[in-house]
């Protein structure tokens, strides 16, 4: 199980679409704490292994500045902006049920 978390089977081979991107994808991390940074490092590390090379990312402090580009969001659903949830067809009411 340790070797399969996070499971990136959908990106197998090239870490598509990020492994072949011409521009670094935007990366938004909701909180800068040890757990969230560890999750981000694990995800990006696994993506790099899958792609066969490091994947450059462009960090953003605010999701509002990303615009309509494809992006990587890391964090808990309760901290994600409602506009991003609605763009990915995730019910914004799920934020209330996932709050601690």
- pLDDT one-digit tens code per residue, 48-84: 888 888 989 999 988 888 888 888 888 888 778 787 7
In this prediction, residue 1 carries a pLDDT of 45
Kindly report the average pLDDT of the chain as a whole number: 81
Evaluate if residue 100 carries a pLDDT over 70: no
Evaluate if residue 26 carries a pLDDT over 80: yes
Evaluate if residue 20 carries a pLDDT over 90: no
Question: Per-residue DSSP letters for the chain?
Answer: -GGGSS--GGGTTT-TTGGG-SSPPEEEES--SHHHHHHHHHHHHHHHHHHTS----EEES-GGGTTTS--EEES-GGGS-HHHHHHTT--TTHHHHH--
Arithmetic mean of pLDDT, 22-31: 90
Please report, for the chain, the start and end positions of each structural domain, with discontinuous segments joined by +: 24-98
């Amino acid at each position: 199980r340790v070797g399969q978390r996070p499971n990136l089977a959908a990106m197998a081979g090239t870490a598509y679409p990020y492994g072949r991107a011409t521009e670094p994808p935007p990366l938004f991390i909701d909180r800068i704490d040890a757990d969230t940074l560890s999750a981000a490092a694990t995800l990006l590390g696994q993506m790099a292994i899958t792609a066969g090379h490091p994947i450059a990312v462009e960090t953003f402090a605010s999701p509002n500045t990303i615009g309509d580009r494809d992006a990587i969001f890391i964090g808990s659903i309760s901290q994600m902006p409602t506009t991003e949830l609605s763009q990915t067809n995730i019910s914004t009411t799920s934020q209330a049920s996932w709050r601690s």
